[in-house]
Amino acid sequence: MLDFLHANLSYILSGISVGGQYALIAIGYTMVYGILRLINFAHGDVFMCAGLMMVYLSATLPVTVTIPLVLVMTVVLGFLIERAAYKPLRTAPRMSVMISAIGISYLLQNAALYFTGGLAKVYPSIPWLSQTVTIWGSTTKMVTVVTPVLTLVLVILLSLLIKYTKVGMAMRAVSKDFETSRLMGIQINTVISVTFVIGSFLAAVGSMLYFTNYASVTPVSGSMPGLKCFVAAVFGGIGSIPGAVIGAFIIGIAENIIKGGSSIFGFGGSGWTTFSDAFTFALLIIILVVKPTGLFGEKSTDKA
């Protein structure tokens, strides 16, 4: 067992790191779904936009200014998307909102395509995060170590926010019952906006960590992580934040182990790499068939 761990340490480490980054995105999905019952397909693209903003802003500004600026601008972007594309459809059927989300995702990708000219943009290296460190004989970037810690800190803060503040209480109420909480005098629109603000903020943090590892941003680099993070949210039980985090870590680690598959399965060679994405979806289908509510999900009748 120890040998196995040691041999695959670099995969496991990067898996943990990617898992943490996925977790930050997955929280955005799970919170929005919990409240609006909407798969926010544009969330992955918001994440990509945060990456692009970083690229463009850091070209002229120092890092200390860029990071807060990117966080603020991503939050504004998330807020605007909700106001422009989802709020007008509040009373429309759920499918129209989802189509609107797909439309926004298409729009953001095409806008990014236009502004970048379709080229992969090199992500700026954030000084401290890009340093290399050596853990138990495998070299990795500082970000690998920072990600899980930062993720946990943010998740704990978020849980406290949801548990003890007034707006957190309102969020829980709205996700339990939309109509009743409105009757109780909760400002639905404010609560939904706050949800999108938090989700976008975490996506922006996630994008900084993720792209530090991957080093380049393209207009479509948000769509696959986006889908995977939604799967992570479903896997953990949609609406549950700890569930989303655990689901994201499982997917991140499993995916990276499959990428380094030859040393574990002993056959197939690098051919398994093709399946690192497919694995995520296979996991999704298995969980939907076996336990549709996910690991920590509450029982609900209209899910599956």
Q: Minimal CA–CA distance to 16: which of 126, 167, 150?
A: 150
* CB burial of residue 259 (10 Å; 0-12, 13-18, 19+): middle
C-beta of 213: minimal distance to other proteins in Å? Answer: 22
Dihedral sign for Cα atoms in the order 189, 190, 193, 199: negative
The Cβ of residue 282 has, within 10 Å, a number of other Cβ atoms equal to 12
Asked whether the beta carbons of 248 and 26 are under 8 A apart, the reply is yes
C-alpha–C-alpha distance, residues 34 and 191, integer Å: 12
Q: What is the DSSP letter of 187?
A: -
Convert residues 115-144 into a mask of x (bound to other proteins by CB under 8 A) and - (unbound).
Answer: --xx--------------------------
Task: Output the CA torsion 191→33→79→194 (10° steps).
Answer: 30
Sole binder of other proteins in the list 106, 120, 131, 156 (CB under 8 A) = 106
Nearer to other proteins, 201 or 272 (CB): 272
Is 222:121 a contact under the CB 8 Å cutoff? no
Binder of other proteins out of 16, 23, 50, 104 (CB under 8 A): 104
Specify the residue, 101 or 208, whose C-beta has the smaller distance to other proteins: 101
Among 131, 282, 291, 300, binds other proteins (CB under 8 A): 282
Beta bridge partners, 140, equal: 133
Q: Does 300 bind other proteins (CB under 8 A)?
A: no
Placement of tokens 């806008």 in the chain:
111
Nearer to other proteins, 161 or 254 (CB): 254
Q: Which of 113, 142, 169, 254 binds other proteins (CB under 8 A)?
A: 113
Pick the piece of the chain touching other proteins (CB under 8 A) from 7-15, 114-122, 123-131, 132-140.
Answer: 114-122
Binding site for other proteins (CB under 8 A): 37-39, 84-85, 88-89, 92, 94-96, 98-100, 102-107, 109-111, 113-114, 117-118, 220, 223, 227, 230-231, 234, 268, 271, 274-275, 277-278, 280-282, 284-285, 288-289, 292, 302-304
